[in-house]
Structure 1
């Protein structure tokens, strides 16, 4: 078993080093928007946004207000909106965090997690958020296509869950999103190859199903704030397999 996993990891490292063709979440303006000098300004913006969140203001209104004040770009505003949360939200999310999934069934917000890993493999811009999630700037908007990183992203997820000894994995994919069936097939193929029981459900609204469950793998803040318990798996995967990922860590 250990030798087999070791061989799979070596094979994955080769795949990761050869990923050069299609980049998920890459935007040329990020070089300027998230440069060292820009991040200093964004750090100040994040501090102010979190301060106002702690006083009950709405995240969208605050981001618009602070963004206009500092003349931030659309992607900078999106980064702050996804990265910031109130102190109460942060504390509650940490309290509901689950670290042990041994012999447990886990439920995965499929597009949410796979896209983040694709972005990491693409060296796209990622953010270490106030609640310790790693999030990206990629958006579905109803369209998705499998890229050369998709299979590896799924393999990294499967290997990690095998190492954590999850008993079964249940994915939920958004039915309205294009190529959800193709992604379902890819997930089943990879998980069966690695030897983890898996089922994949393509449903109209995964959020509605996931928000009432426990052992959820997602970075969606709405689901995290509603569910009974969640697993923060992206940092585990990225730190182990993609250590050179482009992660920006704001000061909150």
Structure 2
């Protein structure tokens, strides 16, 4: 089992304070400008990455942080306050949120997008493997929504991803042990299912955020006040 989802070897240089973070912010500004004018995400990222001499990992970061101004406005209009969660059913983008929290608990670099959503640099590549922080990440989510009196949590996981079945079994055991009102669904197209629901979505996936009726920025609530993350302003 991997130890954690912490920083990779050169991350402290690639995303460190002062010069590098200023460089990242300039790149996010440029890419967001292009997105607002209709340029594609991949071509915009490549163009801006070349201009600022960013490597692939830095380009991955600015892609997650950048967004067209109109998209940012729409996403923020749909974002709910935690006071609105009481009595609501919640739909969670399972791997997206668990991996983000695993990264946070491993002290990895996290990145705040123009839309306020928090993102990281982890990726599944068809396989999910638990780490030392997995159960703590799940507990943070469960306790938060229980404390805010949410009616139910519906977890959605990518069915084709290896070990999704094991994750479902783990979550159902935790729900039984702690009295959580949880449902766990394995779905071939989880993004589409979340986007089409009329429930409060918990995700940092930009494609989903553009299509849901409402969402809640859980990561921003769960991050410690002194956590250092890369911001766009």
Secondary structure of the residue aligned to 2:157 is strand
The match for 2:70 is 88
CA shift, 1:236, in A, is 0.8
Task: Report the equivalent of 1:65.
Answer: 47
| Partner Cα separation in structure 1 for residue 118 and residue 175 of structure 2 | 23
Q: Does 1:169 align with 2:135?
A: no
The range that moved more, 40-49 or 108-117, is 40-49
Moved runs in structure 1, 4+ residues, more than 6 A? none
Alignment of 1:216-235 (within 5 A): 216-235=201-220
Shift of 1:211: 0.9
Whole-angstrom distance in 1 between the partners of 2:102 and 2:173: 18
The residue that corresponds to 2:107 in the other structure is 123
Q: Deviations for 1:90-144, whole angstroms, at most 9, x for unmatched residues?
A: 1000111122121111111100000000000011110111111110000011011
Cα deviation code 1:34-60 (max 9, x no counterpart): 122211111111111122222221221
- In structure 2, the residue corresponding to 1:211 is in which secondary structure? helix
2:96 aligned residue: 112
- 2:62 partner SS: helix
Aligned residues: 228
Taking a change above 3 Å as real, the CA distance of residues 249 and 157 of structure 1, as seen in their structure-2 partners, is same
Structure-2 residue corresponding to 1:31: 12
Does the residue aligned with 2:223 lie in a helix, a strand or coil? helix
Q: Distance in 1 between matches of 2:228 and 2:189?
A: 30
Deviation string, structure 1 residues 179-212 (Cα, Å, up to 9, x no partner): 1111112222223333221010111111121111
1:20-79 Cα offsets, whole Å, 9 max, x none, are: x81215311211111222111111111111222222212211110010111101010010
Check whether the contact 1:23–1:124 (CA below 8 A) recurs between aligned residues.
Answer: no
Deviation at 1:250, TM superposition (A): 2.2
The match for 1:53 among 19, 24, 35 is 35
| Structure 1 counterpart of 2:137 | 153
- Partner residue of 1:237? 222
Q: Secondary structure at the match of 2:43?
A: helix
For 1:102 and 1:120, the matched residues in 2 are separated by 26
